[in-house]
Copies of this chain bind each other. A is one copy, B any other.
């Protein structure tokens, strides 16, 4: 039982059956991380390279831990855009790494489409760990896993995503994933953050936060990239927090048993208030835990480990 594809580049290209397979596999992988001995020999002798052109402690660590718990050899490479400018092309870097016989290259890059380009050049498996404002598929998978774990289903679930939809790879991957599994997705944010035509992806779009959350089963708050806000998509952080930040007052308009997701790292007091982030509705840390499980599942399903080996 494995994915019949070489790479994981985005949720857009996955069938609902493939997504379900990944989620089921991740559920069984999760148990490995709860054991006394958190390690299975499944991917012994496999080489996994984490090739990060954007810094990301959290995602890199999650992939690295996932690789090591599967007994793979994990190699970290952090490159800055600047080193790329004066050096070899991305394609050459990738071909050179591939010449060292890795089994999988996990790539994060600020330019949308980079993982797909690499996947075309390489015979190794490529996993997209986030590319520009395009996709972040492992994030969407862990989000779906978290919702399914909590609510028992995704079909029919009402998901509202709030924030800078236009620039968010997390939003895009989740819109694809949740709609494929039959959820009803609404995206919400100030007009400057809602890309025109986003409804074509199968979701509703609104600037009215209260309306967007009042029937939601799940609210996913996106991180405001404070460093990007020179572009002035809204007047001030305070203004954003007031209008679109999720705090206990706004949360009162949502159903009592709504659950809250956030891809992290969170900006406390900006898009989410501390009371909400730390409250009983929040599944933010469950998401992180499930992130390791999803990445173990991806390695397993793409690199061809044998199911029996980790049971």
Q: Residues of A with Cβ closer than 8 Å to B?
A: 33-39, 44-47, 49, 55, 57-58, 61-62, 64-65, 68-69, 73, 75, 77, 79, 83, 86-89, 92-93, 95-103, 226-227, 264-268, 285-289, 291-292
Contacts and interface: CB of A to CB of B under 8 A. Distances in A.
B61 A288 contact: no
Instruction: Output the residue of A33, A45, A97, A99 with the most chain B CB within 10 A.
Output: A99
17 contacts: A33-B100, A38-B45, A47-B65, A57-B93, A61-B100, A62-B100, A64-B75, A68-B73, A68-B75, A69-B73, A86-B227, A88-B268, A95-B285, A96-B288, A99-B285, A99-B287, A100-B289
A202 B94 CA distance: 37
A45 B34 contact: no
A38 B73 CA distance: 10
Contact of A39 (B34, B45, B264): B45
A47 B267 CA distance: 28
Contacts of A103: 38
B46 A93 contact: no
B77 A73 contact: no
Nearest to A98: B285
Contact of A45 (B36, B49, B77): B36
Contacts of A64: 75
Given A38-B45, A39-B44, A47-B38, A65 B96 contact: no
